[in-house]
Amino acid sequence: MSMTRALVAFVLLASAGLARAAEPTPAPAPLAPTPPPAPELLPVGAPAPSFTAMAHDGTKFDLAKLKGKYVVLYFYPKDDTTGCTKQACDIRDNWGKLQKAGVAVFGVSTQDNTSHKAFAEKYKLPFPLLPDDKGEIAAKYKVPVVDGKARRITYLIGKDGKVKHVWPKAPTVGQANEILAQIETT
């Protein structure tokens, strides 16, 4: 009898295993999308592409006329959003230090000057914002524009008109101090 019970138990276990094997196995979870590769930005030492633009405050910006000064071009996604506001206010709050170091700062995004003017007035930004609604400035600086928004990338242009430093993922807080630290290294 015990042999019979053992045989029955074996048959039951085996049939249960077969039943489980007949069940469909769940599909593997889809792989997480791979992040896009880092953009090929202008390298340090490259000449900064020249351009002109009309700033939100009505002043004409001409990069060629700023040779001999440090220039910061910071590309940001959109006026009056959380990260962009933090970044702009960080620069605003350190404006005295940046001016004392001889740095000219310009924010660049794909919004028009109406949006830039409202943003600058709301947060009392002391530096010009440049419109890039067609993405032409971003293209010159190899800044990706995704869904109509520029990626957050900052260029420091040296007094010689060449790229001195690039922040491919510019911080929303602490950018001004990083800019000043780069200038102090020369």
Residues labelled as active-site residues = 84
Q: 64 is written with which tokens?
A: 């060629």
CA–CA distance, 52 with 64 (Å, rounded to integer)? 8
CA–CA distance, 85 with 63 (Å, rounded to integer)? 24
Closest CA to 179 of 77, 86, 90, 48: 90
CA–CA distance, 119 with 178 (Å, rounded to integer)? 24
Say if CB 136 and CB 19 are below 8 A apart.
no
Q: Which residues of 2-11 are buried (b: 16+ CB within 10 A; e: fewer)?
A: eeeeeeeeee
